[in-house]
Amino acid sequence: GAVVSQHPSWVICKSGTSVKIECRSLDFQATTMFWYRQFPKQSLMLMATSNEGSKATYEQGVEKDKFLINHASLTLSTLTVTSAHPEDSSFYICSARWPGVQPQHFGDGTRLSIL
């Protein structure tokens, strides 16, 4: 069964709205979670590493003020897309792994559409 739950699966909202996406690890504690963005027919692009109890580590070119990450507990990380615009429309996927070991297990993704 699924080991990572992501919610919501689909969001449509107006430009300027902030959108929060949740990622939960099921039945295990994940000190580290990862957030990815994926464009159609392309591979996953790592946006940031979410660390429980500390600041997220963002990849080069990813705006930390635009994509706010909070990892407040060992089973929950959230990604908030602030003041979203149409160019933020994409498929966002999170992953989590058991501490210190691979592999990463992925959520089912969130399709974000900004009108």
Binding site for other proteins (CB under 8 A): 4, 6, 32, 34, 41-46, 49, 57, 91, 93, 95, 97, 100, 102-109, 111
Q: Write down the least CB distance from residue 100 to other proteins, Å.
A: 8
The 3-class SS string of the chain reads: CCCEEEECCEEEECCCCCEEEEEEECCCCCCEEEEEEECCCCCEEEEEEEECCCCCEECCCCCCCCEEEEEEECCEEEEEECCCCHHHCEEEEEEECCCCCCCCEECCCEEEEEC
Comparing CB distances to other proteins, the nearer of 67 and 106 is: 106
Comparing CB distances to other proteins, the nearer of 36 and 81 is: 36
Q: Write down the least CB distance from residue 81 to other proteins, Å.
A: 18
